[in-house]
Chain A
């Protein structure tokens, strides 16, 4: 029996997108799929994903270019920039410390 997918926690989408782009450039659909598959619990809506991509692009953390996709369609591929890389490392760090903190609070009896 499937558990219903969760909506993303606020503020986490940008981080997940940046992380998803570490292995290499990817289009919007691919990013969404990867997050859903890897997390196994989150559902990514286009109404959040694409504005997030636009936001990251405008902040200079990722760049976008039109390329041919695996099935030979025109798709917009996003690529992590150096600044994006740096931001990811910092936020990943922050997130893990925060998550550890939350976990400790939740685990106290």
Chain B
């Protein structure tokens, strides 16, 4: 407030120039008065006084320039002058502000996204030494999967590359008590060095000590069984469920119906071992550790100076040793090491970079339009600057005024752009939920610096050149009206600007079009099941209460039966893991057909799912051969499996899978044989972008599991069922709520939400660019028609018809757009392949997209030239020719 008053005081303070002018005017007035007293009439007296004394202003200027602080004062004076002029041209000023705001806002928002999501280091000490470790099996087509605990223990014992190696695993657990309703949390079980390795800070209390990790044991169903269990709360859970209570350390919470002691609260949200974890339990790397259950998230901190590549070759050598010692579990398995940072954001990188490029193109187009506006204004004011120079104004002053007239609206636009960017960033977390690190997005000094640079860049492109040129004009030529009508070189510059805008628009529209086609293709790719009308409720059964398979079977049977009884429910079933859904166990086991004696059967890895009856019906996955699981499959009946078409083709290419025997290797638990009773249709399990996996299905009745995704199909037009479904859950076990409730359609859409968001933004950019382009072209054509009135009138007088005159204007538009198209097509051919990783079902050189872009630009040319062409055709030659 005080600053503002100071500023406005500085602004309003009488300038030295004002004072000098007033003093000199007094002098003039005295002379006039003297003459009047001598009998000269007032008007004549003034004329004489002016002749005797000369002009007051240049002298006042000279005086003012001689004072201390004169330059600052002169700038202030010129700024006031520039402001006054801008106020007198509100449409021009607002248009420039809007253009700069649009360009700077869009590009600053995208810059902030890229900067804070991709470039900013992870908020851990020495983040460049943090890596994530994966097991890989190229022979099985497994690129990067989780790490088996046994293997990690071996690496830890032998590898020299790492200061620390830690692991974690996330699963849903029920938390209850504390006055809030029971809910299922994603919890991370983490090894003792997990937090120290990352260098995570605690808000209250501490993380686990070695004794607590040793004490923590888990049953085969991942139920915590150790004595005196402890828990570390995530920052979000502490805020949400405990109201940010600083005294929470030492209190107890009920997790899985056991009492846990809270020993600490993390200082910030942590997206490891998986995004969304809210609480942490200790885990040990001891006891029987399998070498082939590859599901944990493994992290490493490299020793200083060791590269990820070096550590990878060391681990690969250890893995090769392991494969020799334990061929049963480790043959064909190796290791991959990736920096933690790029891995966390790799998926979002191409889309973000493409959008940043798009926003910069938009900025350039907006600048081009602003430049056209400044040029038009400069030529509308025509010889003003030249005139003032001719009358003795200093070039510095004229140039300075021109610069201020450019900088002031651009700066206002830049500020508005910052506000726009802040507004855009505020909606990112909702609009783009799976974007890593989106929550903490905010404008910072780097964003402000980018906005400043973008603003100055726009001012430079848009206004400085016209301002400088205005001072270089030859006054005689500038004042000659005949010369002024069509400045050939200036027309060339404007034409060039429009061509450049068209070219940039082509690039933007092509990108947007390709993404649009790609998303359409994803949407129309059948995933192999019917997602419409399906509700999904992931359930993590409490491992204490449902410790036996019998209890789990009873629970799910009862739940599904009650759900099927709800009005509007057509079918219900459950599976350990659903296609397109991120929740639930997802693992593969080696399988092979039981061969005839003496033959060695080919082994392959198949992804294992447990299904209840009703599941196939709910998702409408066709049974290709054999039968679906039903009530005849019981714990005591003959063990059966089903396979999907892919696995059936791989194991029994002849197509006679039903009735064969399949062997599944459960590693330490031994191998089991099953009769194949069905072949089910393939589904695109990881979403429409993915290829079907080799899948193996077991009846839940014969191999029960605590974690199941309950699904139900609702009748078309049925009222929202979520509440009714929750009531059924409460009725069966009030302490066992579903972890969440989704529509399968949404989950399916979420597998390409990134592409969809990128497409929507790109289309927005494209529409904005096309509009700007049309406006720019319109301005150029309208100005051209204005400048060529005489020429057009002469042509009309000489017999050129309306159509011919219209063609003249339209022809110019066509030439410019065609040139821009050609340039844009060349630029696009060079850059579109960079989009390839974002595309699905459409190549970078897509003819449909090209045709769409062509049509869009034809529309732009038509829209822009319609009015100017009509005006050209309706000139009145007689009146035009009489004008000068």
Contacts and interface: CB of A to CB of B under 8 A. Distances in A.
A73 B30 CA distance: 10
Interface string B35-61: 000000000000000000110000100
A47 B63 CA distance: 9
Contacts of B62: 51
User: In the complex, which range does the number of interface residues on chain A fall in?
Assistant: 10 to 19
A26 to B, nearest CB: 12
A50 B24 contact: yes
B24 A46 contact: yes
Interface in A37-86: 45-47, 50-51, 54, 58, 69, 71, 73-76
A19 interface: no
Interface in B3-38: 19-20, 22-24, 26-27, 29-31, 33
A76 B26 contact: yes
B27 A29 contact: yes
A8 to B, nearest CB: 16
A78 to B, nearest CB: 10
Contacts of B67: 54
B33 A50 contact: no
Contacts of B29: 73
Contacts of A51: 62-63, 66
Given A29-B31, A54-B63, A54-B66, A47 B54 contact: yes
Interface string A7-38: 00000000000000000000111001000000
Contacts of A76: 19, 22-23, 26
Contacts of B30: 29
Interface residues of B, number: 18
B583 to A, nearest CB: 81
B63 to A, nearest CB: 6
A45 to B, nearest CB: 8
A71 B33 contact: yes
A50 B59 contact: yes
A50 B26 contact: no
Interface in B61-105: 62-63, 66-67
Contacts of A46: 24, 27, 53-54, 59
B124 to A, nearest CB: 62
A54 B70 CA distance: 14
B79 to A, nearest CB: 24
Nearest to B33: A71
A50 B29 CA distance: 16
A87 B228 CA distance: 98
Contacts of A29: 26-27, 30-31
Contacts of A73: 26, 29
Contact of B23 (A28, A47, A58): A28
Contacts of B31: 29
A22 B423 CA distance: 69
A46 B59 CA distance: 8
A75 B62 CA distance: 19
B33 A28 contact: no
Nearest to A47: B59
B30 to A, nearest CB: 4
B26 A74 contact: yes
Nearest to B66: A54
Contacts of A75: 23, 26
A75 B30 CA distance: 10
B22 A50 contact: no
B15 to A, nearest CB: 15
A51 to B, nearest CB: 7
A32 B34 CA distance: 14
A75 B33 CA distance: 15
Contacts of B27: 28-29, 32, 46
Contacts of A58: 66
Contact of A74 (B22, B24, B54): B22
A69 B26 contact: yes
Contacts of A47: 54, 59
Interface of A: 27-29, 32, 45-47, 50-51, 54, 58, 69, 71, 73-76
Going nearest first, the 4 A-B pairs with the smallest beta carbon separation are: A29-B30, A76-B23, A29-B27, A75-B26
Given A27-B26, A29-B27, 19 more contacts: A28-B27, A29-B26, A29-B31, A46-B24, A46-B27, A46-B53, A46-B54, A50-B59, A51-B62, A54-B63, A54-B67, A69-B26, A71-B33, A73-B26, A73-B29, A74-B22, A74-B26, A75-B26, A76-B23
23 contacts: A27-B26, A28-B23, A29-B26, A32-B27, A46-B24, A46-B27, A46-B54, A46-B59, A47-B54, A47-B59, A50-B23, A50-B24, A50-B59, A51-B63, A54-B66, A54-B67, A58-B66, A71-B33, A73-B26, A73-B29, A74-B22, A75-B26, A76-B26
